[in-house]
Amino acid sequence: MIQLEGITKSFGSLQVLKGIDLTIDKGEVVSIVGPSGAGKTTLLQIMGTLDKPDAGRIILNNVEVNRLKDKEQAAFRNKEIGFVFQFHQLLPEFTALENVMIPSLINGISGKNARKEAEAMLDFLGLSERASHKPAELSGGEKQRVAVARALINHPSVVLADEPSGSLDTQNKEELHRLFFELRDKLGQTFVIVTHDESLAAQTDRTIHLIDGRIS
C-alpha cells in the first residue's frame, strides 16, 4: 500500500530525514513515535505529498507519487489520502455535513451525490444529529470525528493522522482511538498515526520509532 525508499529531507543545513525505508500494508494501523523534532510530521507530510523529499521514492497504491506533476499529485492526494490533524481544521463557516462533502466536490462528484455520501458517512460515525451544526457548535470529540468523516469520504487508500487525539480529553481520546480500530476492522482502512500517546501506540499493529531522522 505504501512504500518509502531512501527518503531524505533537509531544511537549510538541518537534515531532518536521513534515509527512510518503510513499507506499510493495506489494513495496517501503524504508529510513528519519537522525540519532538525527530522528523515525524515531516515524514507524514512527505508520505501525504504535502511536502517533497530531497531524494527517494514514494509509492502509494502502486503509483510513484513523486513523479506526478503537481496538478496530478493534488488530484491523487484528494482521492487517495485522508488527513486528520491535531486541530480539526474544519471550515468554520460550513456545517459538519458541508465540511464532509468538500473532498467529494473537489473530486468532481455532483452536489446531490456528495450530500448523500456525506450523510451516510456521518451516520456511520454516529454523527447524524450533528450534520447541520457548525464546528463552533460541536464538542472537541465531535469535531475530530467530523474530521475523520471528511478524511474517509473519498475512500482513501490511507488516512494519515498527526497527533489526532492531541487536543482531546481522556474520554474523547479513547473514543477516537476506538474509532480508528473499528474503521480498520469494518473497512480495512489503513492508518498511519503520529502520536505521543503511548497507550494508542501500544494498540497499533506496528510502532515505528523515529529518532534523529532515522527509523531505529
Residues contributing to the site for ligand ADP (CB under 6 A) = 11, 16, 34, 36-42
Instruction: Please write down the HEC assignment for all residues of 137-178.
Output: HCCHHHHHHHHHHHHHCCCCCEEEEECCCCCCCHHHHHHHHH
Which CB sits closer to ligand ADP, 37 or 108? 37
Minimum Å gap between C-beta 13 and ligand ADP is 10
Which CB sits closer to ligand ADP, 134 or 196? 196
Minimum Å gap between C-beta 108 and ligand ADP is 31
DSSP letters for 67-100: GS-HHHHHHHHHHHEEEE-SS----TTS-HHHHH
Which CB sits closer to ligand ADP, 18 or 116? 18
Whether the Cβ atoms of residue 169 and residue 140 lie closer than 8 Å to each other: yes
Minimum Å gap between C-beta 81 and ligand ADP is 18
Minimum Å gap between C-beta 64 and ligand ADP is 23
